Structure 1
Amino acid sequence: MALRFLRSLIPRREKRNNGGTLRALRSLTFIQLLQFVTGWLAWTCDAFDFFCVALSVNTLAEDFDKKPGQITTAITLTLLFRSLGAVVFGILSDRFGRKWPLFANLVIVCSIEIGTSFVKTFPQFLAARALFGVAMGGIWGLAASTALENLPVELRGLGSGIVQQGYACGYLLASMVNLTVIPHTSHGWRALFYAAACLSSSTAILRALTPESAVFLRAKALEKINGGHATGDKTKIFIKETKAMLKAHWKLCIYAILLMTGFNFLSHGSQDLYPTYLETSKGFSTHSATVATMISNCGAISGGAIAGWASQYIGRRLTIVIFILLVGAFIPLWILPTSFSALAAGAFFLQFGVQGAWGVVPIQLAEMSPPAFRATFPGVAYQLGNMISAASAQIEAVGGSNIRTTITVGGVTKNVPDYATVQGILIGVVAAYLIIVTILGPENHGTHFESAKTAFEGGAGADEMQNVGMGKPRSIRELEGKDDDEVV
């Protein structure tokens, strides 16, 4: 029975990757590679900014004369408002294309980052982080769709793992700046946001110089051949198809939100308060906590890439389950030791599992989504899950204030919050929840979602992944049916 269960998680043979990864890599064009890198960079710079706060909790508390638990309110606000951004920018992307909505999104992110670096009061800081939450909410859906829909289907598992680890790369880059630059500048934590603004603006320029996704270019070309529609008509079609999608796929929407709630509790519960946990509960210096954070993100990056690649062969759900089991196995090493080397090793392997499972999420959501809404559906599901899990850092902060332990630092015994126990319990429960939800969910492994209609075409809202044709995208097949002079 156990063997039969495992087989049910592995995709059928005809849908599996048939050793074409190297061949597909060689077939990549410069434009495809550039589009993928742009999506990865967008998510990287977004994560860089988000973790600027997590890395500076204690410093911000001193600067604004607040407790660390109050500072984590900024993290909660950011997560709460991300859903709004996912709706707004996801709709714009599915309606108008990937290029200019993502460009505008990045410019707004850059502006808010600059504004954050100039705030003077704690309420101003909270307002800036709430606004950043709206902007950040739009990035993931647009970045993932930009990166994945232009790749050959054989590379989408690997691409998913790499693009999702833009999140870990952003955390790693922020940690490096915090370690090497912040101690030597008079601007303190504000310099982190200066650096974030530079990264976001550079990515926005790259997005402006990179062509639109081929899916939208083909759809527009096909529409032009067939007579086209006025902008107002296309908007009416888009609204109609959005309603049809929600009516046809509302159960899938609920499932995706439940899945992403668990995933966001897993990542934020293991990352957002991690530097504070090391400094407060283990007595490490800020320097040592930052180094440990960097080591953990190296584990995250490697785990994401390996899991994404593995999911091409053994399936999305089974890969997620395996890597979450790794998370459970390494929780003791993550929280019990007292030495830096052991804790750093625990952080590496725990994040190898956490972000390994996360590495499959972009492609799992893209293949699960109604195909015409690959920016809106995954983005909104992701950010609604974020909204539900928004208080994870505060839950841990409050839990730590009630569950306490004693440590000895420099011969002095201190009574401190026991973040180790709190985080261990939270991550253990979330891991068990995710295994169950993942197993019960759908999987459309290897689907050619690029062959579907776009959201401003009639009938797109009721499309299902299993009905999407294999092989050449629909718009290519239809264009090839036209005479050359008609195409021109």
Structure 2
Amino acid sequence: MSNRLSISSSHDSEIIKEHNKHVIKPPTFTSRAILKYFCSRFTSLFVPKSELAQYTWSDILNPFEALSSLSLRNWCYFLLAFIIWTFDALDYFAVSLNMVALSEYFDRSVSDLSWSISLVLFLRSVGAFIFGYMGEMYGRRWPLMINLFILCVLQIGTGFVKDYQSFLGVRALFGCFMGGIFGNAAAYALEDCPIKARGVVSGIFQQGYAFGYLLAVIFTRAIVDNSPYGWRSIFWFSSGPPFLMILGLYLLRETEVTQKNLIKRKESNTANTKLGEKFTMSNAAKDAFKRYWLIFVYLVLMMAGFNFSSHGSQDLYPTMLTAQKGFGKDRSTVTNCVANLGAMAGGLTLGHLSSFVGRRLTVMISSVLGGVCIYGWAFSSGAGINAGAFFLQFFVQGSWAIVPIHLAELSPPLYRSLILGLSYQLGNLASGASSTIESTIGERFPITVNGESAYDYATVMSIFMGCVFGYLILIMFVGPENRGTSLDGDRDEKIEDEFAATGYYVFM
């Protein structure tokens, strides 16, 4: 599809070229096209000088400079989405941080309880599809409000279960509805965000996950360890704050981009509605599928790597600290807090720098440096383990900082929340057995700690993370990047440049 614009100067020819550069075309599988693509993988890692020339050193070195470009409404969208994502993470980590207590209560092994984590990850794709589709059809707000309400009910229900089977059942339902949060929340945070602030906003938004982990650590220590209800209290507590988020969503309108895309969807929905053809795919959907099917496959593979890095370094880490290192509750809390402070610092720093270094290259550099930090993270036993945990999570979650905006820039404009959430959660599905794999293999390496039997989780987790970092370097190197593209529904409409063709513009 193409547009003819009435434009008055050759300067606008550069704007047209920049727009057309970001148009996603259907994949071509000729030998020439494939060779050209792979030859460009190295050169395309780097941000062009012409793009860097738009920024001052102050822009590059000071992430808060970019944040000053956000309007009050941008801040409202971003902060509300950040808080929603934070409590989604808190709800999830309430299980992993109480694994030992749950194991003792249900009289099951840690590897048995880890299946409750895997079940959540396996079923999140269901929610991502359902609520992502709703987000495209009806906007982001109402699907998020429904999601949050149901999650509140399920958290309350989790606190009342009395047997292992019921616990697995409630967590399975939790996984279905948890999966609908990320796609709509990320779209809500980023769609109206100024281009210069996208990297840092993406990084801070993603660290809602780490901030949620940090809050889960703090509240577990403050509430669970001092409540007569034990592990149940954290689930009851986390069910309350989302009601305030529901109120916030009700008061805010949809983003400008979402409003435009909803109008465009209605205009472009030319599917036949005759009897027997009611479910014919619309022209817009057909076009999106032709352009993006290969990118979607890539995004799932990419997100599998990211999710393996996150779950592989976090889910069993508290268990390793207590069961293998012999850390007490206070010391384990401190180390986990330090790790998550590192994650948040990495998200802010590397998310911002990805706008100037490039999304792909940022992840590749972070993966190399993260590999360097593995030893200190896993094998230190003194105070040095805090530094190891800080820097490993700095680079793990620093890599994650690019995920929301990288997915948004590579997703079809009219199906952004669907593809954002679905690719993220299918990657989760692929990595869903991370904690189970680590705990099961770890139990094959028994060791003795202070005269008691334990398992060598540190060695298994270190090898696991080394493999994941290698995979991320490879998958990011071969993948595409569409940094700085428009996020509205007209992104893939190529514009004819009359000036380039004729030397002048025709006024209409």
Which of 323, 337, 340 is 2:380 aligned to?
Answer: 337
Contact 1:105 1:135 in 2 (8 A): yes
Contact 2:90 2:238 in 1 (8 A): yes
Letter in 1 for 2:94: C
Match of 1:98 in 2: 140
| Cα displacement (A) at 1:325 | 1.2
Q: 1:416 to 1:134 in 2, by over 3 A?
A: same
Question: What is the SS of the residue equivalent to 2:432?
Answer: coil
Question: What is the SS of the residue equivalent to 2:351?
Answer: helix
Match of 2:16 in 1: none
| Cα displacement (A) at 1:45 | 0.6
> What TM-score results when the alignment is normalised by the length of structure 2?
0.83
Contact 1:73 1:394 in 2 (8 A): yes
Which of 55, 72, 75 is 1:18 aligned to?
Answer: 55
Unaligned runs of 5+ in 2: 1-39, 497-508
Q: 1:227 to 1:366 in 2, by over 3 A?
A: closer
Give the Cα separation in 2 of the matches to 1:401 and 1:22.
46
Identity over the aligned pairs, expressed in percent? Answer: 41
Match of 1:38 in 2: 80
Letter in 1 for 2:132: G
Match of 2:502 in 1: none
| Cα displacement (A) at 1:242 | 3.0
| Cα displacement (A) at 1:423 | 0.1
Match of 1:195 in 2: 237
Contact 2:366 2:396 in 1 (8 A): yes
Contact 1:31 1:211 in 2 (8 A): no
Question: How do residues 10-409 of structure 1 correspond to structure 2 at under 5 angstroms?
Answer: 10-16=46-52, 18-19=55-56, 25-219=67-261, 239-339=282-382, 341-408=383-450
Give the Cα separation in 2 of the matches to 1:262 and 1:158.
22
| Cα displacement (A) at 1:287 | 2.7
Letter in 1 for 2:465: I
| Cα displacement (A) at 1:249 | 2.0
Which of 431, 440, 446 is 2:478 aligned to?
Answer: 440
Question: What is the SS of the residue equivalent to 2:68?
Answer: helix
Question: What is the SS of the residue equivalent to 1:449?
Answer: coil
Give the Cα separation in 2 of the matches to 1:342 and 1:53.
27
| Cα displacement (A) at 1:7 | 4.9
| Comparing 138-147 and 115-124, the one that deviates more | 115-124
| Cα displacement (A) at 1:211 | 1.4
| Cα displacement (A) at 1:431 | 0.4
Question: What is the SS of the residue equivalent to 1:415?
Answer: strand
Match of 1:430 in 2: 468
Contact 1:405 1:416 in 2 (8 A): yes
Question: What is the SS of the residue equivalent to 2:193?
Answer: coil
- The structure carrying a bigger helix percent of its residues is 1
Aligned residues: 449
- Report Cα offsets for 1:108-156 as digits up to 9, x if no partner: 1111111111112111111111111111111111111100112101111
Give the Cα separation in 2 of the matches to 1:77 and 1:371.
31
Give the Cα separation in 2 of the matches to 1:74 and 1:222.
41
Contact 2:136 2:262 in 1 (8 A): no
Question: What is the SS of the residue equivalent to 2:380?
Answer: coil
| Comparing 286-295 and 182-191, the one that deviates more | 286-295
| Cα displacement (A) at 1:24 | 5.2
**Higher relative contact order, chain-length normalized (CA < 8 Å, sep 6+):** 2
Larger Rg belongs to: 2
Contact 2:201 2:351 in 1 (8 A): yes
Q: 1:468 to 1:30 in 2, by over 3 A?
A: farther
Match of 2:45 in 1: 9
> What TM-score results when the alignment is normalised by the length of structure 1?
0.86
